[in-house]
């Protein structure tokens, strides 16, 4: 990857603050920094709590997507899942209505302010809406220890689960819960153990998961993500990180390049936003989103522009992450023992 000069990035940088329909991941507003490269608009939106080292991978992804042509697409649309935040059961139907045609729902569980009984009630409500043919996958975001995960999976197994995503935090815990629940036939998926790991292949090498959740931004871009998929040799679900439609388009380009796409992808999350940066947001239609670049609407960039202090925060972050990538490139050029 050739890193553009920082001034080139700053020249087109726009920071937005988009309200969410429902509180998600502990936030009500999603901030993102958009850039325009030779290939079109791209996105840099690591979560605010991530340090510069982790966030720099997201900048590498933004540069990869904005300054390099995307790989050849193997499909023109991507089937996606609905995403159900940790809402009350009475709100489930309204959430699912925002994902027309989606046959799969990912349900958030293990929220710190809720208990297992609330998770069971939410998943039961999802099953009631989807019917017996719908697919339900759970996402615990590493919220359980091994014993809690075993107990929860037992309690939720009656709802015919497609898989359980990141039930525990560490690779060792994932391997243990996978061993304990193998007889139930419910696959274990890894997300944080891939996208937030120094070695995204470690979870596959440890045989701690049955499938991987792959996101373009945290892994440093489409090409890096494709390399991880190839080396891991496991089925994958391509997902997003509550991106704007620009970031989701990056994820769709990745999904379109994956040879075997067995599972519906987590790329329908524009439905969780109450506003977007394009007049044609990538909302699910008949359970799928199209593959292709998104054109940003200048009026929406202005309407949902972040406050001046937040713009300054993001531009300073952009500069720091650019410096991290520059140091990494210099070290690569110097070679072992010379940096």
- What does the alpha-carbon distance between residue 238 and residue 206 come to, in Å, rounded to a whole number? 21
Ligand-binding annotation for 165, yes or no, is yes
Catalytic residue among 14, 215, 317, 322: 215
Ligand-binding annotation for 8, yes or no, is no
Catalytic residue among 14, 30, 106, 108: 108
106 is catalytic: no
- What does the alpha-carbon distance between residue 314 and residue 82 come to, in Å, rounded to a whole number? 30
108 is catalytic: yes
- Smallest Cα–Cα separation from 113: which of 137, 87, 92? 87
Ligand-binding annotation for 139, yes or no, is yes
Binding residues: 139, 165, 191
Catalytic residue annotation: 108, 215
Binding residues for Mg(2+): 139, 165, 191
């Amino acid at each position: 990857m050739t890193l553009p000069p920082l001034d080139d990035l700053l020249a087109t940088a726009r920071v937005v603050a988009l309200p969410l329909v429902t509180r998600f991941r502990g936030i009500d507003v999603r901030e993102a920094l958009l850039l325009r490269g030779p290939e079109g608009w791209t996105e840099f939106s690591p979560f605010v709590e991530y340090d510069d080292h982790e966030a720099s991978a997201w900048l590498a992804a933004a540069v990869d997507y904005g300054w390099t042509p995307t790989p050849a697409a193997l499909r023109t649309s991507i089937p996606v899942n609905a995403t159900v935040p940790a809402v009350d059961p009475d709100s489930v139907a309204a959430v699912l209505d925002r994902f027309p045609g989606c046959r799969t729902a990912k349900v958030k569980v293990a929220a710190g302010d809720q208990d297992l009984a609330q998770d069971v009630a939410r998943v039961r409500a999802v099953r009631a809406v989807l019917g017996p043919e719908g697919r339900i996958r759970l996402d615990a975001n590493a919220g359980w220890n091994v014993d809690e995960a075993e107990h929860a999976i037992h309690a939720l197994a009656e709802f015919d689960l497609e898989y359980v995503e990141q039930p525990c935090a560490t690779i060792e815990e994932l391997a243990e819960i996978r061993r304990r629940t193998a007889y139930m036939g419910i696959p274990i998926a890894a997300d944080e153990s891939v996208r937030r790991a120094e070695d995204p292949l470690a979870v596959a090498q440890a045989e701690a998961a049955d499938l991987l959740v792959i996101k373009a931004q945290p892994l440093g871009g489409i090409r890096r993500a494709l390399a991880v998929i190839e080396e891991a040799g496991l089925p994958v679900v391509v997902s997003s990180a509550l991106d704007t439609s620009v970031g989701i388009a990056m994820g769709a380009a990745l999904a379109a390049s994956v040879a075997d796409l067995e599972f519906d992808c987590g790329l329908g999350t524009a439905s969780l936003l109450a506003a977007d940066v394009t007049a044609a947001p990538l909302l699910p239609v008949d359970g799928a989103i199209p593959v292709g670049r998104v054109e940003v609407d200048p009026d929406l960039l202005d309407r949902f522009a972040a406050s001046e202090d937040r713009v300054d925060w993001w531009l300073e972050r952009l500069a720091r992450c650019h410096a991290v990538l520059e140091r990494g490139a210099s070290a690569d050029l110097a070679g072992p023992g010379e940096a």
